[in-house]
């Protein structure tokens, strides 16, 4: 098969031109700001890259701890399948992690396709609105609502079908740079095999409406059971304070400590005092104690903590 390499400034334009020639999209990355794509036709493969295209890592990059604070006011960029991505960890912690605040302004069908990722960890949490999705071996499509979460194990095929207007989700993945691969042959839904294991993990669909609030060291929590589904790679909870009390956290023994303010306001007490509000996000280095003081009554926090991924 012949191979063609195209260097371009506008990846979307180059992809559209190749599709007019009969090519189909096989691979694209990064999802939050596509810079590289592979397309194929009956007798030719085309690699399309921009001058800024990153290299795909051949292994999980080493973790580099850093304090990060990103604000809701920071700009979003055009990502894959018409979605807007706001980068929540710009430095990527050595390339180990990416976290994105993803939005879809207009409701209706999403220009997605059956695809999968070669990743170590990937989870998606719905902050606002709803989204209809379908997953390999999980039966018919289903709707995720506010507070719901999925763990997408490595190589599991899936597709976003449609969403409400103003959909917002938070996605956390490792490594930061990873490819989206199209699966042109599999049609979803493809039946039900809910216990199937992918790379040591199994699919998890956490439903917030079915999950009670329970007492936790830091306050009140909705646990997602993601720690079990991910074989101990990560823990995800939605947290809220007890009657205005501070949420205090001891030093985490693993790697990532990530927080996303879902609603309300508080004072982040770590290396100074930082006022945080809805859609702000932060990363605390492992082994460090920190606190969210003076939370408002409606304060809610998405809290993600990982163990070593190696």
Give the domains, in start order, of the chain with CATH numbers.
Answer: 2-49 (3.30.720), 74-208 (2.60.120.10), 213-306 (2.60.120.10)
The answer to whether residue 248 scores a pLDDT higher than 90 is: yes
69 vs 206: CA distance, rounded Å: 27
Q: What is the mean pLDDT of residues 194-202?
A: 95
The answer to whether residue 77 scores a pLDDT higher than 90 is: no
**Contacts made by residues 250-253, CB under 8 angstroms, sequence distance 24+:** 250/217, 250/289, 251/286, 251/287, 251/288, 251/289, 252/284, 252/286, 252/287, 252/288, 252/305, 253/286, 253/287, 253/307
The answer to whether residue 92 scores a pLDDT higher than 80 is: yes
The residue behind tokens 């991505």 is 85
Q: What is the pLDDT of residues 249-275, one digit of tens each?
A: 999 999 999 999 999 999 999 999 999
Q: What is the mean pLDDT of the chain?
A: 96
DSSP code of residue 146: T
Give the pLDDT score at 71: 98
Q: What is the pLDDT of residues 37-69, one digit of tens each?
A: 999 999 999 999 999 999 999 999 999 999 999
The answer to whether residue 83 scores a pLDDT higher than 80 is: yes
């Amino acid at each position: 098969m012949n191979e063609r390499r195209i260097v371009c400034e506008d990846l979307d334009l180059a992809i559209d031109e190749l599709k007019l020639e009969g090519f189909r999209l096989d691979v694209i990355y990064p999802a939050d700001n596509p810079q590289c794509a592979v397309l194929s036709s009956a007798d030719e493969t085309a690699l399309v890259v921009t001058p800024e295209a990153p290299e795909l890592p051949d292994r999980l990059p080493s973790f580099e701890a850093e304090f990060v604070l990103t604000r809701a006011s920071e700009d979003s960029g055009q990502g894959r399948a018409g979605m807007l991505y706001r980068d929540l960890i710009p430095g990527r912690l050595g390339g180990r992690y990416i976290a994105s605040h993803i939005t879809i302004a207009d409701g209706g069908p999403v220009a997605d396709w059956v695809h999968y990722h070669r990743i170590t960890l990937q989870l998606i949490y719905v902050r606002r609105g709803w989204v209809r999705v379908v997953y390999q071996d999980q039966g018919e499509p289903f709707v995720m609502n506010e507070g719901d979460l999925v763990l997408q194990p490595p190589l599991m095929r899936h597709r976003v079908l449609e969403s409400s207007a103003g959909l917002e989700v938070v996605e956390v993945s490792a490594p930061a740079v990873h490819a989206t691969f199209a699966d042109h042959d599999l049609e979803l839904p493809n039946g039900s095999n809910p216990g199937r294991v992918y790379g040591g993990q199994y699919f998890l669909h956490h439903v917030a409406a079915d999950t009670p609030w329970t007492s936790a060291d830091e306050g009140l929590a909705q646990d997602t059971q993601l720690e079990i589904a991910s074989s101990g790679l990560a823990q995800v909870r939605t947290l809220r304070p007890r009657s205005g009390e501070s949420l205090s956290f001891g030093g985490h023994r693993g790697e990532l400590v990530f927080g996303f303010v879902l609603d309300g306001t508080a004072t982040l007490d770590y290396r100074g005092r930082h006022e945080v509000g809805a859609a702000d996000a932060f990363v605390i280095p492992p082994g460090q104690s920190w606190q969210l003081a003076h939370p408002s009554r409606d304060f809610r926090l998405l809290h993600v903590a990982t163990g070593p991924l190696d």
